[in-house]
């Protein structure tokens, strides 16, 4: 379901979604994170945003993990529908923090 592999989808420069009362945007280079109960920090750096052949927006991103003891590991590339991405990664990280 990659818009990069067929001509039916389209690549977008950015996409907006509602996060609570705020309107957030996601675009290549944006970074978001979530903190797990065990204090592990999961960080998602957006690689691209696009729609599939059905017009559903998706986010392609690179994920990494940092444990409280400061050990880090790369989780590789992932893709989620924009809605799922927004549900999971609610906190934007500034460029200085990333």
pLDDT band per the 50, 70, 90 thresholds, residue 4: very low
Beta carbons within 10 angstroms of residue 77's beta carbon: 10
| Whether pLDDT at 69 is above 80 | yes
Q: What pLDDT is stored for residue 86 in this prediction? A: 87
Average pLDDT score, the chain: 80
In whole angstroms, give the CA distance from residue 3 to residue 8: 7
pTM: 0.75
What are the CA-CA distances from residue 45 to residues 16, 55, 63, 86 (Å)? 16, 23, 6, 13
- Across the range 45-67, mean pLDDT stands at 91
Domain extent listing, the chain: 10-93
Mean of pLDDT values over 34-50? 93
**Is the model's pLDDT at 70 over the cut of 90?**
no
Specify the pLDDT at position 95.
63
């Amino acid at each position: 379901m990659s818009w990069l592999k067929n001509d039916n989808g389209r690549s977008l420069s950015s996409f907006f979604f509602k996060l609570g009362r705020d309107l957030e945007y996601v675009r290549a280079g944006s970074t978001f994170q979530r903190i797990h109960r065990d204090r592990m920090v999961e960080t998602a750096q957006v690689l691209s945003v696009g729609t599939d052949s059905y017009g559903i927006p998706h986010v392609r991103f690179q994920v990494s993990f940092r444990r409280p003891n400061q050990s880090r590991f790369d989780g590789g590339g992932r893709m989620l529908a924009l809605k799922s991405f927004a549900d999971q990664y609610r906190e934007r990280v500034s460029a200085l923090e990333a």
